[in-house]
């Protein structure tokens, strides 16, 4: 069904994003969180605990992006020559 295709596509996209960012995460727990949220079940963590974990994830991924940007800045090649930004 279209609903099944959408569900799989969302999961594949999210999983791919985590893999590309080298984020180690238990896919079973991701699914459990989605199921709990969609069924409006009582969360296993408090709101503050979840916010703290997501804040740490954001800080980690932001730091990784900054490291990658710094590596790109030190590149002395002209691969971007004539490429407007």
What CATH number corresponds to the domain at position 56? 1.10.287.460
Segments forming the whole domain that contains residue 28: 2-63
Report residue 60's pLDDT band, with 50, 70 and 90 as the boundaries: confident
The span from the first CA to the last CA of the chain, in angstroms, equals 42
Total domains, the chain:
1
Kindly report whether the global pTM for this prediction surpasses the value 0.85.
Answer: no
73 domain-assigned: no
40 domain-assigned: yes
Specify the pLDDT at position 74: 52
32 domain-assigned: yes
In this prediction, residues 39-66 reach a mean pLDDT of 91
51 domain-assigned: yes
Report residue 63's pLDDT band, with 50, 70 and 90 as the boundaries: confident
The residue behind tokens 């408090």 is 46
The residue behind tokens 């295709």 is 5
Strands (E), the chain: none
pLDDT reading at 73 higher than 60: no
28 domain-assigned: yes
Q: How far apart are CA 19 and CA 12, in angstroms?
A: 10
The residue behind tokens 């002209």 is 78
78 domain-assigned: no
Report residue 18's pLDDT band, with 50, 70 and 90 as the boundaries: very high
Cβ atoms of 10 and 17 within 8 Å: the answer is no
């Amino acid at each position: 069904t279209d609903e099944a295709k959408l569900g799989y596509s969302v999961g594949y996209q999210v999983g791919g994003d985590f893999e590309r960012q080298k984020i180690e995460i238990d896919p079973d727990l991701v699914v459990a969180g989605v199921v709990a949220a969609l069924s409006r079940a009582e969360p296993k963590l408090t709101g503050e605990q979840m916010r703290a974990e997501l804040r740490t994830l954001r800080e980690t991924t932001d730091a990784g992006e900054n490291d990658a940007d710094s590596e790109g800045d030190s590149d002395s090649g002209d691969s971007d020559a004539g490429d407007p930004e």
